[in-house]
Structure 1
Amino acid sequence: MNQMQSLLIIGFVWPEPNSSAAGGRMMQLISLFQKQGFQVIFASPAQNSNFMVDLSEFDVQKESIELNNSSFDDFIKELNPKIVLFDRFMIEEQFGWRVAENCPDALRVLDTEDLHCLRLARQKAFKEKREFQISDLLAEEVAKREIASILRCDLSLMISEYEIELLINVFKIDKALLYYLPLLLNPEAIPDLNLLPDFETRKDFVFIGNFLHEPNWNAVQYLKETIWPIIKKQLPDAVLNVYGAYPSQKVLQLNNVKEGFLIQGRAQNANEVVEKARIVLAPLRFGAGIKGKLLEAMQCGTPSVTTAIGAESMQGNLPWNGFVEDNPELFADKAIQLYQHKEIWLQAQDNGIEIIKQRYLRKLFEGDFATQIQFLLSNIKQHRLNNFMGELLQHHTLKSTKYMSRWIEEKNKKSVS
């Protein structure tokens, strides 16, 4: 293949599709670009991990790169990619200016994962025991960095419609810079209910989520202290199995056999675990983006009970795959109802399948996405002229970040010598 048709992804971490939805999302993006005919090179300054995917199996070239090191400039000049995809805004901050300087014609795409400033502003409001306000978002320090990064890029991939509305209405971002691309599923993700365990075969409740993610850890504490005792009182034989990658000692200490609250750690096979459960519980009190665990529940034919933040931007106008409740007593009550009543459970299961079919199938998005990428590649000059604020930020960032990075690089050289 012509080297000009290469796509460079600069990853915040190496993809771990079995540890988080973010890892699965990255593999979906790789597949989409490969289908468009791009040769994919994945580079990251991160350390290797035990659970990272073997990229060579997916025909992806793996490259290790360093922060604050001009060796990256030589690497990208030689590669001369057609497109550079930044995995989260922190990576764009580190490498965006180097890409702009060394490959000015490369299309710069940002995969936001979720809006970090929204997650952090909500978390802060929650910790301060008050309602989240839009003004919290404007005051959040990370917002200034994240919005600047979005403006500097030619296109930002968004997984949440609510976040697109915030960017357009609150931060006045031109919608031509944003593209809605949720988590994507292949047709085989639509479950065949005849092949899945039925209502009678399933038992117990499950929570699943990466413990390095603060909203997940908070949800587990909330289950332990508030919600699970209410459910357990009504369903004394029920058990809640809590699964997640990277459990710390404080997570493991919550394990209590007598209370039926079992910390199981990393799931070897997440689908298997969720398919055996009758209900998924996800009482998320802050966060952003859309929740891979809840989409996974739908794929497994497992109804879920979650909060408004858990379900945000996931179902459109369709009924939920279970119930959405913010009040802990009502949350527990709905979980008990769903657990005990087969008809309600079956209806919830059907709702989940309908959400997958109408909102998450890859075929709904891949054609339009390819068209959008080709349009930008053909019209990049005009597109950038229309984004004057982005060009302005690129100009100033290039100067400030460049000198800061060069200073760190020199300092590192001196400390080595």
Structure 2
Amino acid sequence: MLQLIRFFLGQDYHITFGSTAKETEYSMDLESLGISKVPLLLNDSGFDVFVKELAPNIVLFDRFLTEEQFGWRVAEFVPNAFRILDTEDLHSLRHVREKCQKNAKEFSSSFWKQDNITKREVASIYRCDLSLIISDYEMRLLEKVLNINSALLCYLPFMLESKDVPEVREWPKFDDRNDIVCIGNGKHAPNVDALQWLIDCIWPIIRKELPKGHLKIYGAYLPQKLKQLHNPKKGLWVEGWVEDIDTIVQNARLVIAPLRFGAGAKGKLITAMQNGTPSITTSIGAEGMQGENMWPGKIADDVNNLAQAAIALYQSKTEWKLAQQKAIELINTFYSAKRHSQYLSTRLQEVQKNLEKHRDNNFVGSLLMQNTLSSTKYMAKWIEAKNNKN
């Protein structure tokens, strides 16, 4: 979302950021970027007045749950606004993979298609004029498995500024780095599962081979069951949230992310690339992120292979340097901010110029929007009336 905010600021848009979430100590200072912030309420007709007076050219929904709540209101009160869905990742894909993991079932696209969350998320994609998809794997799912028209989708991976030689030279060298780092917000189920698996099963094998190695875990909202595993005597530090994660990662020798389920592109692995730190992850962790077999580290999917991959890369300066070079190449090509921002700008202009025809070609979307107006709208009004009585 922050990259999109910067993109629109760079296009000279005035941005109004509305959210139903309460601010916390971890909230970003958007006002410093010149962005207006507006608190929103669910099931509140006050939003109708607000959005009509604002009269935005573009409305960007952060995930499908936000579109479900506010999309019909935007369509009714500012019908000419260009509606964009930022999927972040496919929530339904992560949800179904988590269920498969818990029930020891192998994931399949058939399971995914049958799930109600998938149907809700895909309905949201159809109702919007354009949906931003961060992973090429997810693009293939939507286009090939569900046959969604590519005109409704925009592949947009992370947009990263290139790394030049002077910056790379300033990075700490292999011999100056020691820690193995794992990053994960404790409110995100894939992270909690990965951290528990790492601590219980993978780290003991690594520690046996690397007795002087340290595993340090960072992230906001870590659950108590993980915090209590903090044990420096076993080389394990559960550090929690830090303000400057880049400095931490830049001074680490490896980042490890043993994700057993999830979706989208993983920010923690992008952070590793941006700081010249090779990473160990799973197939799901690397999914849709590596270009042409260019992973800047190692990929493995079981306990022993993950541990051995970490041990090998931790000890080999040659392999480590090659992995770091791959990270630089990925940032400067696959994730080029210049290339992807130009593409996004072109797609937005194309749709905006022909918005009426674009919507006319999306009959399924108009059908689903009509159904939403006939059901969700009146449910929301009923909830609002009930809340007002209380």
Task: Give TM-score scaled by structure 1 length.
Answer: 0.91
Following superposition, the deviation at residue 239 of structure 1 comes to 1.1
Separation in 2, partners of 1:189, 1:393: 48
Q: What SS class does the counterpart of residue 174 from structure 2 fall into?
A: coil
Residue in 2 that maps onto 1:241: 216
Judge conservation of contact 2:131–2:152 (CA < 8 Å) in 1.
Answer: yes
Shift of 1:133: 1.3
Q: Do structure 1's residue 130 and structure 2's residue 105 form an aligned pair?
A: yes
Verify: 1:164 aligned to 2:139, yes or no.
yes
Does 1:102 pair with 2:73? Answer: no
Distance 2:388 2:77 in 1: 22
2:162 matches 1:214: no
Instruction: Read off the aligned partner of 1:260 and give its amino acid letter.
Output: G
Task: Indicate the residue corresponding to 1:46 in structure 2.
Answer: 21
**Helix, strand or coil for the counterpart of 2:17?**
strand
Query: d(CA) in 2 for partners of 1:77 and 1:284?
Result: 43
Deviations 1:238-263 (A, max 9, x none): 11001111112112012122221210
1:88 pairs, out of 59, 63, 76, with: 63
CA contact (8 A) 2:51 2:77 kept: yes
Aligned partners of 1:399 and 1:139: how far apart in 2?
A: 24
Q: State the distance in 1 between where 2:275 and 2:124 align.
A: 36
- Matched-pair contact (CA < 8 Å) for 2:296–2:324: yes
**Could you tell me how far apart the structure 2 residues matched to 1:208 and 1:150 are?**
30
2:171 is matched by which residue type in structure 1?
A: L
Task: Report if the CA contact (8 A) 2:182-2:255 is conserved.
Answer: yes
Match of 2:378 in 1: 403
For residues 178-197 of structure 1, what are the alpha-carbon distances to aligned partners after superposition, in whole Å with 9 as ceiling and x for unaligned?
00111111235888332011
SS of the aligned residue for 1:86 comes to strand
8 Å Cα contact 2:163-2:332 kept in structure 1: no
SS of 1:319's partner is coil
User: Structure 1: which 5+ residue stretches go unaligned?
Assistant: 1-25
Q: Specify the SS of the correspondent of 1:105.
A: coil
Q: CA deviation at 1:130?
A: 2.1
Q: 1:333 pairs with 308, 331, 337, which one?
A: 308
Q: 1 CA distance for matches of 2:302 and 2:167? A: 33
Cα offsets for 1:126-154 (capped at 9, x unmatched):
11112111111012221111011000000
Q: Which of the residues 219, 226, 250 maps onto 2:201?
A: 226
Q: Which amino acid aligns with 1:403?
A: Y
User: Hey, what does 1:196 align to over in structure 2?
Assistant: 171
Identity fraction in percent: 50
Deviation of residue 36 (structure 1)?
A: 2.0
CA shift digits 1:226-248 (9 cap, x unpaired): 11111111111111001111112
Deviation sequence 1:23-52 (CA, Å, 0-9, x none): xxx121111112222111111111121121
In the aligned structure 1, how far is the partner of 2:281 from the partner of 2:223? 24
SS of match in other structure, 1:280: strand
Q: Which residue identity does 1:119 align to in structure 2? A: R
Q: Aligned pair 1:73/2:48, yes or no? A: yes
Q: Is the 8 A contact 1:191 1:300 kept in 2?
A: no
2:321 maps to 1:346: yes
Tell me how far 1:393 sits from its aligned partner.
Answer: 0.2
CA deviation string 1:188-207 (max 9, x = no partner): 58883320110111002110
Q: CA deviation at 1:54?
A: 1.7
Unaligned runs of at least 5 residues, structure 2: none
Q: Does 1:263 align with 2:234?
A: no
The CA deviation string for residues 47-85 of structure 1, in whole angstroms up to 9 with x for no partner, is 121121121211111111211111111101111111110
Alpha carbons 1:190, 1:357 under 8 Å: kept? no
One-letter amino acid of the structure 2 residue matched with residue 167 of structure 1: L
Distance 2:384 2:78 in 1: 21
- TM-score, normalising length: structure 2: 0.98
State whether structure 2 residue 161 is matched by structure 1 residue 186: yes
Check if 1:27 corresponds to 2:2: yes
SS of structure 2 residue aligned to 1:187: coil
Task: Say which of 52, 56, 59 aligns to 2:34.
Answer: 59
Write the deviation string for residues 93-146 of structure 1: whole angstroms up to 9, x where unpaired: 000000000011111000000001100111111111121111110122211110
Q: Supply the RMSD in Å over aligned alpha carbons.
A: 1.2
> Residue type matched to 1:265 in 2?
G
Give the match's secondary structure for 2:368. Answer: helix
Amino acid in structure 2 at the alignment position of 1:407: W
Task: Give the whole-Å Cα distance in 2 for the aligned partners of 1:402 and 1:200.
Answer: 61
Q: CA deviation at 1:215?
A: 0.5
State the alpha-carbon separation in 1 of the partners of residues 80 and 226 from structure 2.
47
- SS of the residue corresponding to residue 234 of structure 2 reads coil
Runs of 4+ in 1 over 6 A off after TM superposition: none
* Aligned residue number for residue 148 of structure 1: 123
Are the equivalent residues in 2 in contact too, given 1:120–1:140 (CA < 8 A)? Answer: no
Cα offsets for 1:273-326 (capped at 9, x unmatched): 111111111110000000111111111111111100000010110421110111
Q: 1:373 — aligned with what?
A: 348
2:93 alignment counterpart: 118
* Counterparts in 2 of 1:268 and 1:191: CA distance versus 1, 3 Å: farther
